[in-house]
Amino acid sequence: EVQLVESGGGLVQPGGSLRLSCAASGFILRNNFMSWVRQAPGKGLEWVSVIYSGGRRDYGDSVKGRFTASRDDSKNTLYLQMNSLRTEDTAVYYCVRESGRGVVSPYFDYWGQGTLVTVSS
């Protein structure tokens, strides 16, 4: 059974840093495209970043230069390092497994439960 379990969210001051983790089970992380998608309180969904199976990483404009996606293949775990955090980064962050990228519109077929990041002084 595919499972994604995020952790690492919490309260952080503007300008601070936080690292989110996403432990995967039921499949091999390095063989898949993995994204982070966030949702601000009461708002819609926003794609944040992707890490390709080959290691390439892409980011949305709102986080480019501040967030870094990575993975530890030995732990089958995905990470999102978030630096220079802003109040507008406050959201639930979901780890998602992707399919279809490069062929059709990527679709997110498995989602974690999400972890809340609150950026506030």
Partner 1 sequence: QSVLTQPPSASGTPGQRVSISCSGSTSNIGLNTVNWYQQFPGTAPRLLIYKNTQRPSGVPDRFSGSKSGTSASLAISGLQSDDEADYYCAAWDTGPDVVVFGGGTKLTVL
Residues 6+ apart with CB under 8 A from 60: 46, 47, 48, 49
Q: What value, to the nearest 5°, has the Cα angle with vertex 56 and ends 78 and 105?
A: 90
The correct pick among 15, 40, 58, 86 for binding partner 1 (CB under 8 A) is 58
CB of 114 to partner 1, least distance (A): 6
Q: Does residue 104 interact with partner 1 by CB under 8 A?
A: yes
Q: Does residue 41 interact with partner 1 by CB under 8 A?
A: no
Q: Does residue 20 interact with partner 1 by CB under 8 A?
A: no
Give, in order, the Cα–Cα distances in Å from 110 to each of 22, 53, 89. Answer: 12, 16, 23
- Rounded to whole angstroms, the Cα distance separating 94 from 5 reads 9
Residue 32 or 35 with smaller CB distance to partner 1: 35
The correct pick among 33, 47, 67, 79 for binding partner 1 (CB under 8 A) is 47
Can you give the binding site for partner 1, defined by CB under 8 A? Answer: 35, 44-47, 58, 60-61, 94, 99-100, 104-109, 111-114
